Amino acid sequence: MNFKYSASKFFKVIFSNWLSGSGFIIIAIFSIIAILYELLGTRMVPYNPYQINLLNANLPPSSSHWFGTDELGRDIFSRVIAALPVDLVISLFIVIASSFIGLVLGIVAGYFRGPLEEVIMRLTDLFLAFPPIIMSMAIAATLGPSLLNAAISVIFVWWPPYVRLVRGNTLQVASQDFITISRVLNTPFRKILLKGILPNIITPLLIYATMDVGTAMLTLSTLGFLGIGIPINTPELGLMSSILTTTFYTYPYEGLIPAAFIFLIVLGFSLTGEGLAELIDPNIRVHIISRKKRAEILERSKVLTEKI
């Protein structure tokens, strides 16, 4: 895989399709807002997202409160902005941690094979046999309400698909001639890994991980919606959407607005992932032996063939 892409080419490919371009814009806007909130804090929003004011409870959207207020009088717009870095950071953390675990286990299983592969894949199958959300709920409930515990509960069940993805691609790459020749030449595994395996399996992993951020956020929001794992006063989109269960017919905007933000973020990551699939060529192969060595091996093969 060749990473020598200019910024202009990146944007050209992303915006060559209006769907992937729209997804990238959505993610860019939300990411910038989240970063600004992390830098400026409550100074960025009109109201303190944690401040309770029962006199302003359940106010409809207006010029004073753009998204209205919730049952405790907290400004919904301010809480949505405060929730963006929480949901984005935790979702990214889940995907990065899960992809790293899957990358390590998948490469070990796909390259070294043998009993170690059997152990890894049977363990992976065991985790895949249980619904991820059910296991996440059980783990989050056991660990207690905490953002870190919520992230751990999702990571615990999120890595198996990455193992399968990486192992399958590693098997395919490991069967190529340039990997076989590298093994014959006793090329160090570190060199084979960095120049032969990783560049050729990172493409599907990167694309899958990009689209998976939205799915991880959806799972995290589900835990919040169910009131499991997320501290009760935390600005989190799923937790904020849970108010729909009691106010859907009276004040629907209180839960529908955070839910709409979840939908947009998930959509944005999915569309951006499709754009990355066009940006990175999955057919590029990196050969990790020199031309001279390849010529020598071919010459030896010819000599052996003539003798036979």
pLDDT band at 279 (very low <50, low <70, confident <90, very high): low
- Asked if residues 68 and 253 have their Cβ atoms less than 8 Å apart, the reply is yes
For residues 29 and 292, give the distance between their C-alpha atoms in angstroms, rounded to a whole number.
50
Question: Does 217 score more than 50 pLDDT?
Answer: yes
pLDDT of residue 36: 94
Angle 114-115-120 from CA coordinates, rounded to 5°: 105
**Mean pLDDT (the chain, rounded):** 84
Residue range 163-194, pLDDT digits in tens: 999 999 998 888 887 777 877 777 787 888 88
Token digits of residue 77: 């717009």
Residue range 95-134, pLDDT digits in tens: 999 999 999 999 999 888 888 889 999 999 999 888 888 9
| Residue found by looking up tokens 């108010």 in the block | 243
| Residue found by looking up tokens 């060199």 in the block | 191
Q: What are phi and psi of 69, to 5 degrees?
A: -125, 160
CA 88, 90, 93, 97: dihedral to nearest 10 degrees?
A: -140
Question: Does 8 score more than 80 pLDDT?
Answer: no
Cβ-based neighbours of 238, under 8 Å, separated by 6 or more: 87, 220, 221, 222, 223, 224, 225, 230, 258, 262
Quote the pTM value: 0.83
pLDDT band at 296 (very low <50, low <70, confident <90, very high): low
Beta strand extents in 58-212 (DSSP E only)? none
Cβ-based neighbours of 201, under 8 Å, separated by 6 or more: 107, 166, 169, 170, 173
- Asked if residues 145 and 230 have their Cβ atoms less than 8 Å apart, the reply is yes
Could you give all domains of the chain from N- to C-terminal order, each with its CATH number?
7-48+77-307 (1.10.3720.10)
